[in-house]
Amino acid sequence: MGRIPRSYLINRVITLLLTVWIAATLIWIIPRLSPVDPAEIALGRMAAGAGSVANADEILAQLRASMGIDQPLLIQYLKYLGGALTFDFGLSTASFPTPVSQLIASALPWTLGLMILSLVITFVIGNLLGALMVWERSPNLVKVAIPAAMVFTSIPPILSGLLLMWVFSAQLQWFPLTGAYGLTVEPGWTWSFVQSVLHHGFLPAVSIVIVTFGFWALGMRGLMITVQGEDYVKLAEAKGLRPRYILYRYMIRNAILPQITAFALKIGLLVAGQVLVERIFAYNGMGKLLYDAILDQDFPVIQGISYVIILMTAVSVFLVDLIYPFIDPRIRHEGDT
């Protein structure tokens, strides 16, 4: 395994840029198919708050100019692409004149923390349970209990969240009902703040884990069945190697490679799945921000969040593609000798 060939790296970078560009273009086109005028939405909120708005036509024209929607579509598109490169998505119509990038910047760390925590836990637990379902030396109780536990995967995340809230927050009062951290805690890099964040984020993370681990377990089970019959596994058994060593070194290590690709692809889907979870827990992440933006028809915020999710997913797949040979030395990049 040598360094990454330059031609392969350039090819992957071009594919990444094309993927993001096509997705960003679709994000820009789709909202413009709607007859809703974001400037009129912002004016309507101003009128609702003040009762009436004087010189409504002039204010509407100013709002369109500030949002850039009074210009030709080509100019709007070019400005949008330029803004996407610098993460400038314009102004929010629901929180006018707050920049969309500011709203996303405040919500993104919370979503990343919850997403990474729940995804890593789900990935590890799901793949381990899937491997144990196939391993011949697993206790019979484990082989029965794991499929029985997968009944939770048929429950929507919002229902699992409500169930956990009722049991552990309302009844046992072990965890807070809502919020990302305690109201009496000052945000900062202090142990009290970190402890509060972990305490508030435990139930949202668990509500995602218990309904998604079956995806990994079933996928790993199918891959383990295929690997179990390979010659190198039979040879390892014939050599008298320890069963646990064979399970990890020969079976799980080879079966888990496709799961790593799915791990990268799952990032975008997980953010989408967190929308209702963050909403019911009042967790200040991008899921809650996206939910509120949809209700308020705040298209700039919807565009910005969608672009960030697509960019995260595309970059994750790109990085996984590059590090594959470091995970499994048998894999070579195109042009690598």
Could you report the per-residue pLDDT of 282-300, keeping only the tens digit for each? Answer: 777 787 888 888 887 788 8
Same domain for 166 and 245, yes or no, is: yes
Residues whose CB falls within 8 Å of the CB of residue 21, separated by 6 or more in sequence, listed in order:
81
Q: Which domain holds residue 242?
A: 114-177+203-283
| pLDDT of 1 | 47
**Through-space distance between the first and last CA atoms of the chain, rounded to whole angstroms:** 8
- Furthest CA-CA distance within the chain: 87
Q: Phi/psi of residue 4, each to 5°?
A: -70, 125
Same domain for 33 and 86, yes or no, is: yes
CA distance 230 to 252: 13
Q: Can you tell me the mean pLDDT for 197-208? A: 81
Same domain for 337 and 278, yes or no, is: no
Could you report the per-residue pLDDT of 34-78, keeping only the tens digit for each? Answer: 776 677 776 666 666 555 566 666 777 777 776 667 778 888 888
What percent of the chain stands above pLDDT 90? 1
CA distance 73 to 207: 43
Q: What is the DSSP letter of 168?
A: I
| pLDDT of 335 | 53
Same domain for 3 and 89, yes or no, is: yes
Could you report the per-residue pLDDT of 210-229, keeping only the tens digit for each? Answer: 777 777 887 888 888 888 77
What percent of the chain stands above pLDDT 70? 83
The full length of the chain comes to 337
Q: Which of 155, 151, 146 lies closest to 217, judged by CA?
A: 146
Could you report the per-residue pLDDT of 143-179, keeping only the tens digit for each? Answer: 777 777 777 777 777 777 888 888 888 888 888 877 7
Environment class of 184 (CB within 10 Å of its CB; exposed 0-12, middle 13-18, buried 19+): exposed
Same domain for 220 and 148, yes or no, is: yes
| pTM across the whole model | 0.75
Q: Is residue 185 part of a domain?
A: no
Same domain for 225 and 322, yes or no, is: no
Q: Is residue 192 part of a domain?
A: no
